[in-house]
């Protein structure tokens, strides 16, 4: 399951965003082996295709894809050195796939700002500095250890690791993020286990006033200096917390009045998928219709393995129907109309494929 860590200064709307997101929470029994703590929420990935497939199959159960959001306490200057229990908080998000960085861009005299005034670019850089400082400490420690081992004898693996760590250290020391460093495949593999915070994709959620929400939802027009070089989505967390309490029909009407194609929360979730290069395929039948998440470029046996590891080992073929054809015709109808494709081990999955995998018993 995709894991996203939420970071930001205190009083930027980070915890409100988390509470709003978790009102879309998925029943945990659908996702075995997940231990839910107070600061972790498993949230449904919005996908209208799922309900339409379930209606066609008359499924007893519908299980969406999901994202696990991990909320940590607000980070302050000095977090990397332990200020505000910073080290403990930062360690909680090392194992996430990406980071959601909430930045405040709204004025409100009743909500105190820790830096004394609203400045999104400065605040973003404060958090980035703390993440980088936490990473540089980790990289330096690992680099010293690798160079110590190399004195006893060099290997190709150690040389690759040393090369990668040296590049990362040089960038971090210059105040750059680790995700700006180009590494080759072997170097990347050598340092993957470090789980560097600034090596992860970062999506900036700019918490704006309602009056600052662009109708296209595509960019934050008032703060171009923050958006430059960063992937950012402007949303009003206050408005989102109101939208999530509405009935579905009311939500659609309200969003239409704002000129928005979908809610800010849904845009955030969709952007997380896009940044991580993920797509969705479906399985659908009377028992259940379910969405499955895979990386772009995944072949059919590996996609089957997401359902059960034995399916990958014992893969024979995939029977694939585009979700639109499935909704229009059903499985039997799609087969009769020649819309069902039989694909083998080299088939690269497409977003929206509805599959029936054939495997050896």
Binding residues for ATP: 11-16
Burial class (CB in 10 A: 0-12, 13-18, 19+), 268: buried
Structure-token pair, residue 279: 């797509």
Of 82, 77, 89, nearest to 15 by C-alpha is: 89
3-state secondary structure 131-182: HHHHHHHHHHHHHHHHHHHHCCCCCHHHHHHHHHHHHHHHHHHCCCCHHHCC
- DSSP letter for 5, please: E
Burial class (CB in 10 A: 0-12, 13-18, 19+), 130: buried
Q: Could you tell me if 4 and 100 are in contact, meaning their C-beta atoms sit under 8 angstroms apart?
A: yes
Of 185, 188, 151, 193, nearest to 168 by C-alpha is: 188
Rounded to a whole number, what is the distance in angstroms from the first to the last CA of the chain? 27
Interatomic CA distance for residues 193 and 111, integer angstroms? 39
Contacts of 326 (CB under 8 A, 6+ apart): 53, 56, 282, 284, 334, 354
Structure-token pair, residue 181: 């460093």
CB atoms closer than 10 angstroms to residue 19: 14
Annotated binding site: 11-16
Interatomic CA distance for residues 235 and 270, integer angstroms? 14
Distances (CA, A) of 77 to 8, 120, 125, 178: 11, 15, 11, 19
Q: Where are the beta strands (DSSP E) in 267-324?
A: 278-284, 288-295, 315-322
């Amino acid at each position: 399951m995709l894991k996203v860590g939420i970071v930001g200064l205190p009083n930027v709307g980070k915890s409100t965003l988390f509470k709003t997101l978790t009102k879309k929470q998925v029943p945990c029994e659908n996702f075995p082996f997940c231990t839910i703590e107070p600061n972790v929420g498993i949230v449904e990935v919005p996908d209208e295709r799922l309900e339409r497939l379930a209606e066609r199959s008359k499924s007893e159960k519908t299980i969406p894809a999901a994202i696990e959001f991990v909320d940590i306490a607000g980070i302050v200057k000095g977090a990397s050195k332990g200020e505000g229990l910073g080290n403990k908080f930062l360690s909680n998000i090392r194992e996430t796939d990406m980071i959601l960085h909430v930045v405040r861009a709204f004025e409100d005299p009743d909500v105190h700002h820790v830096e004394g005034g609203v400045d999104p670019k400065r605040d973003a850089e404060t958090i980035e500095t703390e993440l980088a400082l936490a990473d540089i400490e980790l990289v330096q420690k690992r680099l010293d250890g690798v160079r110590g081992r190399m004195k006893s004898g060099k290997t190709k693996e150690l040389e690759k690791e040393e090369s990668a760590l040296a590049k990362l250290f040089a960038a971090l020391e210059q105040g750059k993020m680790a995700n700006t460093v180009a590494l080759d495949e072997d170097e990347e593999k050598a340092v993957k286990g470090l789980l560097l915070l600034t090596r992860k994709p970062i999506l900036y959620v700019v918490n704006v006033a309602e009056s600052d929400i662009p109708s296209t939802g595509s960019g934050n027009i008032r703060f171009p200096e923050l958006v430059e070089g960063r992937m950012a989505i402007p949303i009003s967390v206050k408005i989102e917390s109101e939208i999530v309490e509405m009935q579905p029909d009311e939500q659609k009407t309200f969003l239409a009045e704002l000129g928005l194609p979908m809610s800010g929360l849904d845009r955030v979730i969709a952007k997380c998928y896009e940044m991580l290069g993920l797509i969705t395929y479906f399985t659908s039948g009377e028992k259940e219709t379910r969405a499955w998440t895979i990386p772009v470029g995944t072949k059919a046996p590996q996609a089957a393995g997401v359902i059960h590891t034995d399916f990958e080992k014992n893969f024979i073929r995939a029977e694939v129907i585009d979700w639109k054809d499935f909704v229009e015709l059903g499985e039997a109808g799609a087969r009769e109309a020649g819309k069902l494709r039989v694909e083998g081990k080299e088939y690269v999955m497409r977003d929206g494929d509805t599959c029936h995998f054939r495997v050896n018993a």
